[in-house]
Structure 1
Amino acid sequence: MSWNKYHRNGVRIFAVILLLICRAGISFAQEIVVKGTVVEVDGKTPLPFVNVFIPGTSTGTQTDANGKYTIRMTTARDSLRFAYLGYKTVTLGVSDAPQQVMNVRLQTAARSLSEVVVKAGKKERYRNKDNPAVELIRLVIDHKASNRIDHYDYLRYNQYEKLEFALSNLSEKVKNNRLTRKYKFIFDNQDTTKMEGKSLLPIYLEETLSDVYYRRNPEKKKTIVKADKKVSFEEYIDNQGMSAYLNHIYQNIDIYDNNMMLFTNQFLSPIANSAPTFYKYFITDTITTDTQEKLIVLDFMPRNKADFLLQGKLYITLDGNYGIQKADFTANKEVNLNWVREFRVFLDFDKSKDGKYYMSKTTMQADFGIFKGRGGIFGERTVSVKDFVINEPQPDDFYKGPALVKPESAGLAGDSFWVANRHDSLTVAESKVYANIDSLQHMRSFRRTMDIATLLLAGYKGFGPVEVGPVNTFYSFNPVEGFRLRLGGRTTPKFNKNIYLETYAAYGFKDEKWKYYLGGTYSFTNRAQFEFPVRALRANFQRDTKIPGQELQFVQEDNFLLSFKRGDNNKWLYNDIYNVDYLHEFNNHASFKVGFKNWKQQPAGGLTYFKGGPVTGLNVPALTTSELSLELRWAPHEQFYQGKVYRIPIPNKYPIFTLRGIAGVKGLFGGEYNYQNLTLNIYKMAYLSQLGFSEIVLEGGYVFGKLPFPLLTIHRANQSYSYQLQSYNMMNFLEFVSDHYVGLNIDHNFNGFIFNKVPLLKKLKLREVAAVKVLYGGVRPENRPENDPSLYKFPVDEHGFTTTFSLDKKPYIEGSIGIANIFKLFRIDLVKRFSYLEHPGVSEYGIRGRFKLDF
């Protein structure tokens, strides 16, 4: 199985390793079990998400949607505490009985009015008709446009962001392990104040302070970063990419949007236009705030607990705006959230000068882990807004240029600046994390540990200015080379920030031939070679083997796992490739790349280049081409994790356009043909709320000129046992060629929409996936070898049957259905091929698998 585009994200795998470490410290003893129900003081309304914990310890839990809880402890304690936002905290004694029932009533801490309204219809059949709660939410929906922040012509505000990750409930065995005792200064920096019932050990913190400007017509938003600060692991991972990925998990949310992205999943907002169809609403209270504002408290919960829906409380204004003044929500525990064991979102709104409410603070908390009740990762993102100014225009020239401006001085702000300008002060534990992690990285034992982790995860071992690897290519095998050994390496920024060198040498023991690669890159920026935006010149030479039609993402072709292939896999090429190109990226994520490529390809294994008739025909030993190329790419709002020589995109809702033009030049450095090749690729991630999401790829191409089949488009095939999104998984290598084509790939993940409604399956948290791939095209008459003996004949097998074809009057179609999230890591697909089943050596059905890490 091959890695997909997410698996090499070191952040996620590093988190998994930390979780496994946490798990190792769990011990067991005889239990005392306390269970019960927490309700409001009226004794009828259950309270979900109440924190239930043992004071002074990290042991705790929360009530479910029905107010029920169960908490286990290994020894008798003096008391159990019940705490909930907006309610008075209650502390009750606990006996030493092994089984206890403790039902609790909580009283609101807010000052209630005399006209409190309580809807006691939860035991009755719920209906939208004549329901005052639904009538109220429809008023909120009707007023969304006037309450959205983007209804103003101009906006200006100061924004502070803080993102923190911490190990939660770290076991004593891990802290006292002989291998970790030297890191005692790290373990002593625990925070027991941030989240009741949890002990947190901060390991990552980043802060950003910005001035934000908004103009409605024409719409433009500009962010000027005044200061930023983060814990840095730059020597081992892409710190900027890690920050982008973590912020992708904790995206900005707006409750006034119909859908909200929470932890890479899309949830229907409780005030979406269609929300009354999917949610239940109950008016539970009417309160007055400290500023004498009257609010209606509205509880909401999903009609179907298994759907990707939310539940919690809305505090709605009674001043005629019908805006949200506060919100507190989470997902039902039955939702298939995989690594996210639970999360909580708090939204606070302040009143602007015109009487409307703007979101002044957002707090998102989440607990990530493998098993319930054990150690994990706690993450929190806080975004707060101050100095909110409306309708003060800026000059038109102000909005020109990039939407995000981050001067180099932003990273130089000192401690005194942060103390004076943070919207909220750091906790004691947070204030120490920068210095602690910096000290940790200077310890030799930690650096050795990270070297081993880098070797296991990235495949490279560092030796100062150079790295040796990748280890997964040291050994492989194939029908042409037989047993193959390879050794390579590359330089690091310690060698030179502007110059990057890479090389490898390989030897096949069957063909007894050496293969090698030598390449260099020069960066014209004063940054690391591949740091965005790239402006770099690259040149390289490669002498190696290749399978026609195999294209891989983020994986080397001689990766050991790809040695295992199905069917006939003996059509190969020996290649001598000279390549020079220049890449220029812009801040708006548009880019262009110009290049030159001289390619000498020699058929190998069972592949031959033959032209002419049966008597006068001859084998062509090699084919040489010289190409000039231009590639234009636009990926609006793109984010990615940056490796040393690759990028892993972080999905978002925006499309990616890639237009590529190639011109072959006859007579230039031995080029044998004139031709032009034009392709357009459009990639889009489509989010469908509760129905999951789809990855959609639309691609088309046209080849101009009279050409032999190796220079036509050889469609991407896959004969490995891994499932590849961009390739046709039931197509054989070199099975189809075209000089014009269009293809559509749709891969859909239902996020457990079906399985979560099946009682025996929902506990496994499996997810359904389905895909369809359609390819339509053909070869023009002038490029068909049967019409012109000067063209290369299509390849045949040992029995003389043709194995390469053109797409005729019907498309190539394959589809698959599968199960993802197996052990939270694997995806297995049953793939069916629907057309061209008469071709030799093809199968109608196949099983394919891949690693896939999803939240």
Structure 2
Amino acid sequence: MGNRLRVRLLFLLTGLLIGLSGQLHAQTTYSITGLVTDAKNGEPVPFASVALVGKRVGTITDEKGRYTLRTNVLSDSLVVSSMGYANTRRAIDKERITQAIDVQLPMSAGTALQEVVVRAGENPAFRVLRQVRKNRSLNDRNRLKAYEYDSYQKTEIALSHLTDRMRQSMLFRKINQAMSQVDSIVDKEGNRLLPLLVSESVTHTYFRTGPQRRREDVRKTRIRGVAVDDAGLSSQLLGGTSLISQNFYDNYIPILGKDFASPIGENWRNWYEFFLADTTQLGDHICYEIQFDPKRPEDLAFTGKAWIDTTTFALCEIEAHIGSRANLNYVRELTIEQELEPTVDSSGSAGWLPVGLKMSADLTGVGKQSLGMRAQVTLRNSNIVVNKPKPILFYEQPIEPNDTVATTNEAYWGTVQRTLAGPDSLNKTDQKARMMIEKLREVPAVRTAEAIGQIAVTGFLKVGGFDLGPYPYLFAVNTVEGLRTRIGFRTNEEFSRHLVFRGYLAYGTLDKEFKYGGEADYLISRQHWTQLGVRMSYDLERLGLTPELIGGNRLFYALSRFGRYRGAYQSMQKEVFFVTEPVKGVLLRATVGSRTFDPLFPYEYRLNPELGDQSPVRSSIDDAYWSIEARLARKEKYIMDGNERITLGTKRAPVLTIRYTRGMTGLGSDFNYNRLTVRAQQTLRLGPLGRMTYLLSAGYTPSALPAPLLFPHIGNPTPLLTTNTFNRMQFYEFVSDRFVAMHMQHKFEGFLFNRLPGIRKLNWRLVANADMLWGTMSEKNQNVESSKPMPNGMRPIRFGHLDPSIPYVELGYGIDNIFKIFRVQAVHRLTYLEPGPNNIPTNRFVIKAAASISF
């Protein structure tokens, strides 16, 4: 999940203005002509390369050294290069539509190239690439003990590919009325753009190897956008530099949750075709230019060029493109450009660090005629310091953006543009985009679209200091409550930056009962995420499907309230808790609470199990307890969204949770007991084989308890596929007092289907899963369950238990990314095929479906 919040922001902006359209105006075409000559003798230089700096627009001179370059967009300068000459730049006057620029090329310094031995029948680029891998230990930035630098980042987002149908919508017409006739921005392909966001940020990044640690301090942000502001979540999402800091020396480059094979990675020969084009001079370096293309266009691989230094075989510059044929959703094109320079410390050791980076993406929805989005991030690094590591605790310290991050300071930005940003700072087009955004935000229809987009993405509607929602819980229909209606709220940072209230009220038309919940938290410290809270609720729950047990899966919890409500019980729960993070990645929680269990299904348990059927029985349970929990996520990243902390996931590290619970009659509980639970989850990157996610959990209680206080395992008999549940197990079919469960899911991406003719064009992806459970219930806990008929003549439910020598096993396989949204998966139940103790039939095989949006 490392960039999910950035992706979420892009989809939010798209969803907010899904019908927006810009106006059509006459397209401006700029023309630059000139003559390129030898600076020493004045002779024309034929076939020299003439290009706009920072743009993929260029041409070559003819045999007489003359050139004509026509373009729809200008940069601040053009660069002219030719073999044997030094690269030469000339400034461009952006105010002139036509202009003439003659260039005199001086001879290069004549750096001698290393000898390249070409073997018979071998691609000459292979020898260069072998040397790149051989010299990786000298050139890769990871050889440095530590480095730090200042970064300037500019982010631009705009809508593009607006269809005629979109332009005729009511929302567009209102926007067009508000925009002046000169409001028009055109990209280099001639597409009209409607800007949504322009931001600048300055950060200071610290990195250390052995152990690997990273810290980013967001110093300043300046944001103008629709549905975003300068403070809070936006400044953190747009202020960080990790989105475009890919290291191409790694074998695979993570982009949008996928792993792309690097053209200079260890497996370069398996993924790419190469062509050694020429040698050229980049700054002070003479470089080999190597062009690369994927062997299969559908593979997660790049098309582009790499420039390799001829003396050190270090990567000097790379331009890598992802085309529309790659098995990547919602991306028409994506380009990554990096410029790298060597660094030297006092000992003379060097490693190459990126100094200029750019990522541009052309995103789209479902269908060729869908609305598009153009996003571009530009980064400039400077003031680099190497091999001066900070103490470990310096990197572990949680970072809270300073309150002055988003305050206006034009003098500060003027200094940044002169000393740090340089030619990458805001240009006239960016300034024009900022003015257009201000006009957009004044349109009432746009403000309404912002609110709708916020609801769709976050689930809440912001009204001053309150957020109303979440909307998935608004309605439900089930056999116990009938039509259930729920309204809820939470306070945000406008209400208070320390005190947070949450609450809801629900009512069922069939049971005619009100349910409610409330919580009050006091945020003591954001720096160490320390809070004290109290909560209380009275509601209808389903055995084994409490929010705690399903791990916060909000959608699954909401859907579980529909249909036949088996295993229903009423519960009153009260808790006081304290949470703190003394060290980054170590979250501690202490809780004292009580809860009741009042079943609405036939259930009784024995108060004196040793008496057998002569024992008095009871159906309700009063539980009181205290617990301590430690959550270890050493490489987890997170950001603050007002008073909420949102995790961005961990990088190649598991998340481990350990909890001990002690039930005590002294607190009002019916039972004294001990319970220990452990949970670990992680996503593993397996290169060309895709990604594997596992969830491993275990629990143990040595105490004699009724089944609801043990471990009911989470079944899912619904038609919807849900990960981390047992999709062929019935609700509360099995209960254990000790267990180990494993959920594994593997996404092969396009590993297999990209190689099958006819199928590879569909961009389908193979998925597989294995869900296993080892558990048992001790004889003393089995004796707690009553089988004697109840006074109303009904037999009480008896919960099934597992044979410790036979695991419960489910295996599944299916196709993901059908129409970029749907997943269909077959699930086989391989064990425990006979009807359970309540004569509930089992189904060995089922096909389930799910829908999700992912790249």
Band the TM-score falls in, shorter-chain normalisation? 0.7 to 0.9
CA change 1:806–1:229 in 2 (3 A) is: same
**Cα separation, 1, equivalents of 2:583 and 2:227:** 22
CA change 1:532–1:619 in 2 (3 A) is: farther
CA change 1:618–1:251 in 2 (3 A) is: farther
Question: Structure with the greater relative contact order (CA < 8 A, sep ≥ 6): 1 or 2?
Answer: 1
1:411 is paired with a residue whose SS is coil
Q: How does 1:277-288 map to 2 (within 5 A)?
A: 277-288=270-281
What residue number does 1:576 align with? Answer: 572
The counterpart of 2:334, out of the listed 325, 338, 343, is 343
CA change 1:225–1:694 in 2 (3 A) is: same
**Cα separation, 1, equivalents of 2:492 and 2:136:** 52
* TM score, norm. by length of structure 1: 0.79
CA change 1:713–1:801 in 2 (3 A) is: closer
What residue number does 2:266 align with? Answer: 273
**Cα separation, 2, equivalents of 1:794 and 1:416:** 82
The counterpart of 1:299, out of the listed 276, 280, 291, is 291
Q: How does 1:199-348 map to 2 (within 5 A)?
A: 199-216=192-209, 221-231=214-224, 240=233, 243-244=236-237, 250-289=243-282, 291=284, 293-319=285-311, 321-348=312-339
What residue number does 1:753 align with? Answer: 751
The counterpart of 2:152, out of the listed 152, 156, 160, is 160
CA change 1:826–1:183 in 2 (3 A) is: farther
**Cα separation, 1, equivalents of 2:241 and 2:73:** 33
CA change 1:451–1:794 in 2 (3 A) is: farther
**Cα separation, 2, equivalents of 1:141 and 1:795:** 75
What residue number does 2:353 align with? Answer: 358
Does the CA contact (< 8 Å) of 1:755 and 1:766 recur in 2? yes
1:201 is paired with a residue whose SS is strand
1:513 maps to 2:513: yes
Listed as ranges, the gaps of 5+ residues in structure 2 are 25-45, 48-54, 60-68, 83-104
- Equivalent residue letter for 1:728: F
User: Which range moved further: 210-219 or 532-541?
Assistant: 210-219
- Equivalent residue letter for 2:201: T
1:402 maps to 2:393: no
Does the CA contact (< 8 Å) of 1:7 and 1:853 recur in 2? no
Over residues 307-330 of structure 1, what are the superposed CA-to-partner deviations in whole Å (9 max), with x where a residue is unaligned?
2122221111112x1111111121
Does the CA contact (< 8 Å) of 1:755 and 1:768 recur in 2? yes
User: Which range moved further: 255-264 or 551-560?
Assistant: 551-560
Deviation at 1:683?
1.2
1:428 maps to 2:424: no
Does the CA contact (< 8 Å) of 1:632 and 1:660 recur in 2? yes
**Cα separation, 1, equivalents of 2:755 and 2:577:** 53
**Cα separation, 1, equivalents of 2:832 and 2:152:** 58
CA change 1:759–1:160 in 2 (3 A) is: same
1:825 maps to 2:821: yes
Deviation at 1:140?
0.7
Over residues 359-416 of structure 1, what are the superposed CA-to-partner deviations in whole Å (9 max), with x where a residue is unaligned?
211111111002447641111122222233445x467599476275754334336122
- Equivalent residue letter for 2:580: H
Same amino acid, percent of matched pairs: 22
Does the CA contact (< 8 Å) of 1:814 and 1:831 recur in 2? yes
Does the CA contact (< 8 Å) of 1:189 and 1:202 recur in 2? no
**Cα separation, 2, equivalents of 1:812 and 1:318:** 60
- Equivalent residue letter for 1:265: K
Deviation at 1:747?
1.1
- Equivalent residue letter for 1:158: D
What residue number does 1:148 align with? Answer: 140
Does the CA contact (< 8 Å) of 1:599 and 1:624 recur in 2? yes
**Cα separation, 2, equivalents of 1:671 and 1:356:** 63
**Cα separation, 1, equivalents of 2:646 and 2:556:** 20
**Cα separation, 2, equivalents of 1:400 and 1:558:** 37
Deviation at 1:765?
2.0
User: Which range moved further: 393-402 or 675-684?
Assistant: 393-402
Deviation at 1:337?
1.0
Q: How does 1:748-787 map to 2 (within 5 A)?
A: 748-785=746-783
Does the CA contact (< 8 Å) of 2:786 and 2:798 recur in 1? no
1:346 is paired with a residue whose SS is strand
**Cα separation, 2, equivalents of 1:297 and 1:179:** 50
* TM score, norm. by length of structure 2: 0.79
Does the CA contact (< 8 Å) of 1:206 and 1:229 recur in 2? yes
User: Which range moved further: 653-662 or 225-234?
Assistant: 225-234
**Cα separation, 2, equivalents of 1:454 and 1:398:** 37
**Cα separation, 2, equivalents of 1:111 and 1:750:** 52
What residue number does 1:808 align with? Answer: 804
1:605 maps to 2:596: no
**Cα separation, 2, equivalents of 1:645 and 1:80:** 48
1:256 is paired with a residue whose SS is coil
CA change 1:188–1:369 in 2 (3 A) is: farther
**Cα separation, 2, equivalents of 1:426 and 1:779:** 67
**Cα separation, 2, equivalents of 1:25 and 1:643:** 35
**Cα separation, 1, equivalents of 2:747 and 2:458:** 28
1:481 maps to 2:481: yes
1:136 maps to 2:128: yes
**Cα separation, 2, equivalents of 1:329 and 1:8:** 21
**Cα separation, 2, equivalents of 1:13 and 1:497:** 28
Listed as ranges, the gaps of 5+ residues in structure 1 are 27-40, 43-49, 55-77, 90-108, 122-126, 526-530
Does the CA contact (< 8 Å) of 2:22 and 2:193 recur in 1? no
Deviation at 1:462?
4.6
What residue number does 1:691 align with? Answer: 689
What residue number does 1:368 align with? Answer: 363
2:518 is paired with a residue whose SS is strand
What residue number does 2:852 align with? Answer: 852
CA change 1:594–1:704 in 2 (3 A) is: same
User: Which range moved further: 172-181 or 470-479?
Assistant: 172-181
User: Which range moved further: 476-485 or 127-136?
Assistant: 127-136
Aligned-CA RMSD value: 4.3
Deviation at 1:259?
1.4
Does the CA contact (< 8 Å) of 1:607 and 1:795 recur in 2? no
**Cα separation, 2, equivalents of 1:318 and 1:160:** 30
Does the CA contact (< 8 Å) of 1:460 and 1:467 recur in 2? yes
2:154 is paired with a residue whose SS is strand
- Equivalent residue letter for 2:197: Y
- Equivalent residue letter for 2:414: V
